[in-house]
Structure 1
Amino acid sequence: MQLTAVFDIGRTNKKLLLFDEQYRVVEEISETLPETTDEDGFPCDDLPLLTRWVRDHWQQLRRRIEQSSDSVQLRAVNVAAYGATLVHIDETGQPVAPVYSYLKPFPPELTEHFYTTYGEAMTLARQTASPPMGMLNSGLHLYWLKHVRPEVWARVRWSLHLPQYISFLITGQPTSDYTSIGCHTALWDFEQHRYHDWVLREGLHTKLAPIVGQPIVQYADGVPLGGGLHDSSSVIMAYLSRCQGEFMVLSTGTWCITLNPFNTQPLTDEQLHRDCLSYLTVGGAFIKASRLFMGREHDYQVARIAEHFNLTPDFSRQVPYRADLVERLRQSDQNRLQPACMAGTGPFPNQPPGDWDVSAFASAEEAYTRLMIDLVELLTISIKLIDQNTPTIYVDGGFARSQLFMQLLANRFPEKAVYTSLLPQATAIGAALYIRQDDEPVAGWTFERVLPTQEASLPTATQRS
């Protein structure tokens, strides 16, 4: 048996997955590692713990393969990991700083200094396809480190995005790649297809490893090792390699990210202001995207609902789509969701955090249905910002398993074919597909269309065949 290994490093779960020749999961190792704090007391991933976890599992895997007497072979290894996160290493490859969270506040005075020096925020945003987002722009993370932690900056040889750091632990090869550089970093000039002038003027490019625009960066005992992919870009790789026609992919999780690889128009000021951006593919092509911090908001509000009604948070998994309840709630504007976690993000970035009154509902089911109606309304706005009459939406990730969510979404897009994409481990499979570069069918990947129902508040539409 030939196995492909993928390290899939998420914000919550760290995984090592082994796939067979048809991309079936043969084995999955998953662990939730405890967080720590940086020197300012802000939560962040525990970098020494993560480093140990990756190295230990890589060495264990190699030993298992060596002891298998050729009955099991390792075909390839790759990495997918979350973006907007940098690991700073010295000449010896040792980290010199914590892995700062992209949620860490960016100093307002440094923001002012940056834009005073390098120009108007929306102009830079348009050129770099990156809305101004502080530490979520990893280029500004580098700027912050240089100006606020100069003693650390002086020790940095390479600043690696997280996917490339995990790859470095396996390959020993420091690299950069387009998917991480093109992930709302404010580093890349999308008009000139190179690092932006401000990056060159600050000398940040000297800390960024060479860009490798190919799947394989190193070999170990003849096994191809990949340089790692940004997780959202890894997901779209799977669809681009196996799906026909034009489509959007809605990747759901902590962030709900809509990816439209067929919208090649430059970002407008409105799109940038409303949390739209462009990603880069593995080859440096554009993918237009919009973002909503929906998973974070969902989990926060579900915890509040559960606490109020004396339930466990997993009650939400059992809430069905009830047309009568949805219609009744839609016809009332009372106690609509006031998001608590979306300030500065999404299609309404200027909306301040709200305090939604969950006690106004008669039951947890009613409160949760109201929550999902309003989250899908926000998501609909986010999707439409980058839509160009794209006929198909594939929904991937955790929310794709929710009947309530999928039905509400299909109802908002009656003119489109909305599919639940039943592809477990899509992020890891995308990374595996990229490193293998083959035409093998992906076993078990199925699509289930969700047809819209006629709600009183929605116009009817002829179904697409």
Structure 2
Amino acid sequence: MSKIPVTAVFDIGKTNKKFFLFDENLKEVHSAYTRLDAIPDEDGFPSEPILPLRKWMLETFREALNFADFEIKKLNFSGHGASFVHTDEAGEPVTPLYDYLKPFPEELLERFYSENEGKMAFCRQTSSPPLAMLNSGLQIYFLKYAKPKYFKNVKHCLHLPQFLSLIFTGEMVSDYTSIGCHTGLWDFEKMDYHDWVRKEGIEALLPPILPGNSLLKTKPELGSIPCGVGVHDSSGALLPYLKQETEPFALLSTGTWAISINPFNKTALSPEELGKDCLQFLSISGQPIKISRLFIGEEHKFQVEEMYSFWKLPLGTYKKLRFDEDIYEKVSQRPTKRIGFQYLKPADYGLEKAGSSDWGSFTEFTEAYYTFLHELTDIQVASIQLVLDGAPVNRLFVDGGFNANYIFLEMLRKKLPGMEVIPSDFPNGSALGAAMLVNMGS
């Protein structure tokens, strides 16, 4: 019996590490998942377990090469952004893969901005809100001045998706989707690396940029298979929509973060937008795309756990609720805010903020949950509007965890009149986008 030709994709998130096989119609035919424990870096802060990850990937791929039913014809990678792997000449990591939540020394950060025309000018030029370690290019500056004994051994700095490609191809490259992901490396006014990258001698550490659909080959011992250069996960998640849709649209990609993406909005960012966590990505061909971010996944998790604890309810209770017009009308007509957000800042969007949540003031859980989602979607709509200004569209796809939350979706519909809100049917969109990229590769 002949084997089914497949495209293999490693999709490496912060929490879940996944491996997929897609058939010629890009339908998923196999998957494997793992979670790996974080490893403390030299300061005791958790870091990505890069060597155990490499081991798992190689073992998983070699096993898949021997599958009786499938023949791997192509390979690609998607990975989370804001993550750099710093290697020696041979491509071996010489530092931990620092977590983007690791604190950045305040004095060093102030020095960096003072050397580069001030914080807001720098942020405007690089279309990156001031996010410290989340501006991953600044991690190299941090390494140079805060960790010189490590830095002296660094010969190459690769974004995580491109390091994943290096593991299998032995070739070092950069790609636009990772460079353009709020790194502070790219000057969106000049459409080139920012001056500080050259001034600090860092450009020499960054491998040449290839378009996102470029094809390399895996090492001979791994089959000499056509292999992609990797893609930033949010950019990968956008590709299935771009391929399918002929009319303009926006995408709300939800999970830990809700990322609002308008691929048809190329307007420059204002200082006000930067202050609201609005930024620009680069597409696979290096074109700017406007996005905004909101930390709704963690906010939802925190508030729901608080409510479950107060009412002594089992996990998953909110998933049994359906949209009820009467409850919505009741909570939406209250003049005062009642939810004390843990992570979100309503005031950033010109919205009123409650001091703290008083769960005892609600009649029961359903009313409290509706109130929370009502106030949450007010902020979410304000975040979405940031990417619609200057390039309005009339369709919004919602993918990821919140696309199954009927109350969340219905509230978006109420608050975005004239906008068609469409729950998405692209599971594992980042991996699917990576598979599409390598199949249109050259």
TM-score normalised by L of structure 2:
0.93
Deviation at 1:366, TM superposition (A): 2.3
Q: Is structure 2 residue 205 aligned with structure 1 residue 169?
A: no
Following TM superposition, where does structure 1 have runs of at least 4 consecutive aligned residues deviating by more than 6 angstroms? Answer: 349-354
Partner of 2:333: 331
Answer whether contact 2:127 2:279 (CA < 8 A) is retained: yes
Going from structure 1 to structure 2, the CA distance change for 1:156 and 1:369 (only over 3 Å counts) comes to: same
Deviation at 1:348, TM superposition (A): 4.8
Separation in structure 1 between the aligned mates of residue 393 and residue 422 of structure 2, nearest angstrom:
13
Going from structure 1 to structure 2, the CA distance change for 1:39 and 1:318 (only over 3 Å counts) comes to: farther
| Per-residue CA distance 1:347-391 (angstroms, 9 max, x = gap) | 459999964333433333222222211111111000111203211
Matches within 5 A, 1:265-280: 265-280=267-282
Partner of 2:121: 123
Deviation at 1:325, TM superposition (A): 1.4
Partner of 2:425: 422
Answer whether contact 1:346 1:382 (CA < 8 A) is retained: no
Q: Is structure 2 residue 416 aligned with structure 1 residue 413?
A: yes
Answer whether contact 1:96 1:155 (CA < 8 A) is retained: yes
Paired letter, 1:195? Y
Partner of 2:176: 178
Partner of 1:191: 189
Deviation at 1:310, TM superposition (A): 2.1
Q: The residue matched to 2:42 in structure 1 has which SS?
A: coil
Partner of 1:316: 318
Partner of 1:242: 244
Partner of 1:54: 57
Paired letter, 2:243? S
Partner of 1:10: 13
Separation in structure 2 between the aligned mates of residue 380 and residue 314 of structure 1, nearest angstrom:
25
Paired letter, 1:374? E
Partner of 1:446: none
Q: The residue matched to 1:104 in structure 2 has which SS?
A: coil
Answer whether contact 2:347 2:353 (CA < 8 A) is retained: no
Partner of 1:457: none
Matches within 5 A, 1:2-401: 2-64=5-67, 68=68, 72-220=70-218, 221-334=223-336, 336-342=338-344, 347-348=348-349, 355-387=356-388, 388-401=391-404
Separation in structure 2 between the aligned mates of residue 311 and residue 108 of structure 1, nearest angstrom:
42
Paired letter, 2:40? T
Deviation at 1:312, TM superposition (A): 3.6
Going from structure 1 to structure 2, the CA distance change for 1:150 and 1:402 (only over 3 Å counts) comes to: same
Separation in structure 2 between the aligned mates of residue 81 and residue 168 of structure 1, nearest angstrom:
13
Separation in structure 1 between the aligned mates of residue 323 and residue 312 of structure 2, nearest angstrom:
22
Paired letter, 2:374? I
Answer whether contact 1:341 1:353 (CA < 8 A) is retained: no
Separation in structure 2 between the aligned mates of residue 349 and residue 405 of structure 1, nearest angstrom:
21
Separation in structure 2 between the aligned mates of residue 60 and residue 370 of structure 1, nearest angstrom:
49
Going from structure 1 to structure 2, the CA distance change for 1:418 and 1:212 (only over 3 Å counts) comes to: same
Partner of 1:442: none
Separation in structure 1 between the aligned mates of residue 309 and residue 244 of structure 2, nearest angstrom:
43
Separation in structure 1 between the aligned mates of residue 314 and residue 154 of structure 2, nearest angstrom:
45
Separation in structure 1 between the aligned mates of residue 44 and residue 200 of structure 2, nearest angstrom:
28
Paired letter, 1:96? V
Deviation at 1:159, TM superposition (A): 1.4
Going from structure 1 to structure 2, the CA distance change for 1:11 and 1:186 (only over 3 Å counts) comes to: same
| Per-residue CA distance 1:219-262 (angstroms, 9 max, x = gap) | 23352101100011011111112211111011111110111111
Partner of 1:452: none
Answer whether contact 1:342 1:353 (CA < 8 A) is retained: no
Q: The residue matched to 2:316 in structure 1 has which SS?
A: helix
Structure 2: tracts of 5 or more residues without a match: none
Answer whether contact 1:275 1:346 (CA < 8 A) is retained: no
| Per-residue CA distance 1:77-130 (angstroms, 9 max, x = gap) | 111111011111112322122211111122211121111111121111111111
Answer whether contact 1:347 1:382 (CA < 8 A) is retained: no
The answer to which of 265-274 and 334-343 deviates more is 334-343
The answer to which of 428-437 and 306-315 deviates more is 306-315
Deviation at 1:335, TM superposition (A): 5.2
The answer to which of 46-55 and 231-240 deviates more is 46-55
Paired letter, 2:260? T
Separation in structure 2 between the aligned mates of residue 248 and residue 84 of structure 1, nearest angstrom:
23
Answer whether contact 2:215 2:228 (CA < 8 A) is retained: yes
| Per-residue CA distance 1:265-287 (angstroms, 9 max, x = gap) | 11111111111110001100111
Deviation at 1:216, TM superposition (A): 3.4
Q: The residue matched to 1:422 in structure 2 has which SS?
A: coil
Separation in structure 2 between the aligned mates of residue 312 and residue 392 of structure 1, nearest angstrom:
36
Going from structure 1 to structure 2, the CA distance change for 1:396 and 1:129 (only over 3 Å counts) comes to: same
Deviation at 1:333, TM superposition (A): 4.1
Deviation at 1:49, TM superposition (A): 2.1
Separation in structure 2 between the aligned mates of residue 173 and residue 155 of structure 1, nearest angstrom:
19
Answer whether contact 1:179 1:229 (CA < 8 A) is retained: yes
The number of residue pairs the alignment matches comes to: 432
Identity %: 39
